[in-house]
Amino acid sequence: MLHDPLKPHPFSRFVAILGRGKTKQRPLTFDEAREAMQMILDGAVLPEQIGAFLMLLRLKEEAPEEIAGFAQATRDRLPRPDTLPRVDLDWSSYAGKRIQLPWFVLSVMVLVGQGTRVVVHGTEGHTPGRLYTRQVFELLGLPVASDLAQAAAQVEAAGITYVPLEAMSPVLRHLIELRLVFGLRSPVHSFTRMINPFDAPVMMQGIFHRGFMDIHAGAARLLNQPRAAVFRGEGGEIERRPNKPTQVWSTQGDAEPLVETWPALLDDAHQPADAAMDPARLRAVWSGADSEPYAIASVVGTLAVTLRSMGRAGSVTEAEAQARALWEARDRTLLEPR
């Protein structure tokens, strides 16, 4: 779309809202954020404007209305198939792991073995030196989709799929890669977690910075998400750190969030980094050949939070008992080499 250089650019008003200074600056409303992101996704914004827009948002920190509006705009533009598959659980994975292996993948596979349909979506490569979920899916022989139509078919057939961000939005994949250009994360790292491409009734989110708990919970409420949970996970992924207490914010629709603190599952608060980061250990822990306590506690602890978030357990204690039982009863053939 060509722009007359003698007239204000239509997107300039959104930059101006964010950049007027401390006394006149304000957050975007839900509708403003939705319209602004629609313009970006439609290619109607200049690169200079995108850079200014994202960094102004980063400087002031995102508001729930902005995150929800950006997520809704993305949903509006998703290239979804005409018939959506039944999906029970939406699982975002955008951070990557560098200290511990992604044990949460095993938590997800326990649920898949019980008949839960899970869509995992994320991206990789934006931060060097991390192990990303797509790599793990490929290593374990789990399905990775090239587009949302294929993702729908995979979740129908196998109960699980991994959807790369570029399969949902090449524009957002480009924007998330600007982290190395800006030297900072941008709001794209936050709202992509809330895309939920197939409208799953339960949406899990892991974050790295504690201060974003209320922002993500507030955005879920504005989107009227039936069930959502957010907590500060290991490395910013949806993974409970078993050696530390974990605060979980859960929402149902637009109701006030329920905030629960889950106790540590291990006595030792210090867990050294995994120097090898060998993803083959995931299969070994699944088969029972590797019984390292931190790994198992991480898997079971993450599974417990998910069961509670899905409404399948009435308390923290009940969720943890269910998680342990499901882990012991897991279908060990699911991750056998093929």
**pLDDT for residue 337:** 84
Given pLDDT bands bounded at 50, 70 and 90, which one contains residue 127?
A: confident
Q: What is the spatial distance between Cα 5 and Cα 202, in angstroms, rounded to a whole number?
A: 46
Mean pLDDT lowest among 3-7, 107-111, 247-251, 283-287 = 3-7
Backbone angles phi, psi at 259, to 5 degrees: -110, 120
Residues 140 and 261 in one domain: yes
Question: Domain range holding 182?
Answer: 89-335
224 — alpha (psi -120 to 50), left (phi > 0) or beta? Answer: left
CATH of the domain at 283: 3.40.1030.10
CB count within 10 Å of CB 91 equals: 28
Given pLDDT bands bounded at 50, 70 and 90, which one contains residue 2?
A: low
Residues 263 and 168 in one domain: yes
Mean pLDDT lowest among 2-11, 66-75, 102-111, 138-147 = 2-11
pLDDT tens track for 28-66? 999 999 999 999 999 999 999 999 999 999 998 899 999
Q: What is the spatial distance between Cα 153 and Cα 151, in angstroms, rounded to a whole number?
A: 5
Mean pLDDT of 154-182: 95
Residue 77 pLDDT exceeds 90 = yes
**pLDDT for residue 1:** 54
Residue 160 pLDDT exceeds 70 = yes
Q: Find where tokens 């600007």 sit.
A: 178
Mean pLDDT of 153-180: 96
Indicate whether 84 belongs to any domain. Answer: no
Greater pLDDT, 124 or 88: 88
**pLDDT for residue 232:** 96
Q: What is the spatial distance between Cα 154 and Cα 338, in angstroms, rounded to a whole number?
A: 17
Residue 209 pLDDT exceeds 90 = no
**pLDDT for residue 24:** 81
> Which tokens hold the place of 237?
């992924």
Q: What is the spatial distance between Cα 69 and Cα 110, in angstroms, rounded to a whole number?
A: 33
Greater pLDDT, 3 or 33: 33
Q: In this prediction, what percent of the chain has a pLDDT beyond 90?
A: 84
Residues 65 and 130 in one domain: no
Indicate whether 283 belongs to any domain. Answer: yes
Residues 54 and 184 in one domain: no
Residue 117 pLDDT exceeds 80 = yes
Indicate whether 4 belongs to any domain. Answer: no
Q: Give Cβ neighbours of residue 334 (< 8 Å, ≥ 6 apart).
A: 109, 112, 113, 286
**pLDDT for residue 288:** 97
Given pLDDT bands bounded at 50, 70 and 90, which one contains residue 149?
A: very high
Residues 200 and 323 in one domain: yes
Average pLDDT score, the chain: 94
pLDDT tens track for 247-269? 999 999 999 999 999 999 998 77
Residue 23 pLDDT exceeds 80 = no
Residue 211 pLDDT exceeds 90 = no
**pLDDT for residue 208:** 86
Given pLDDT bands bounded at 50, 70 and 90, which one contains residue 4?
A: low
Residue 105 pLDDT exceeds 60 = yes
Which of 30, 46, 76 marks a domain boundary?
A: 76
Residues 108 and 169 in one domain: yes
Residues 276 and 158 in one domain: yes
Indicate whether 3 belongs to any domain. Answer: no
Measured at the alpha carbon of residue 98, what is the angle toward residues 97 and 103, in degrees to the nearest 5? 45
Indicate whether 83 belongs to any domain. Answer: no
How many domains, in total, are found in the chain?
A: 2
**pLDDT for residue 18:** 95
Q: What is the spatial distance between Cα 119 and Cα 170, in angstroms, rounded to a whole number?
A: 19
Residues 221 and 132 in one domain: yes
pLDDT tens track for 291-319? 999 999 999 999 999 999 999 999 999 99
Residue 78 pLDDT exceeds 80 = yes
Residues 94 and 34 in one domain: no
Residues 32 and 138 in one domain: no
CATH of the domain at 40: 1.20.970.10
Residue 3 pLDDT exceeds 70 = no
How do strand 258-262 and strand 246-251 relate by DSSP bridges? antiparallel
Which of 43, 76, 109 marks a domain boundary?
A: 76
**pLDDT for residue 118:** 98
Mean pLDDT of 73-91: 97
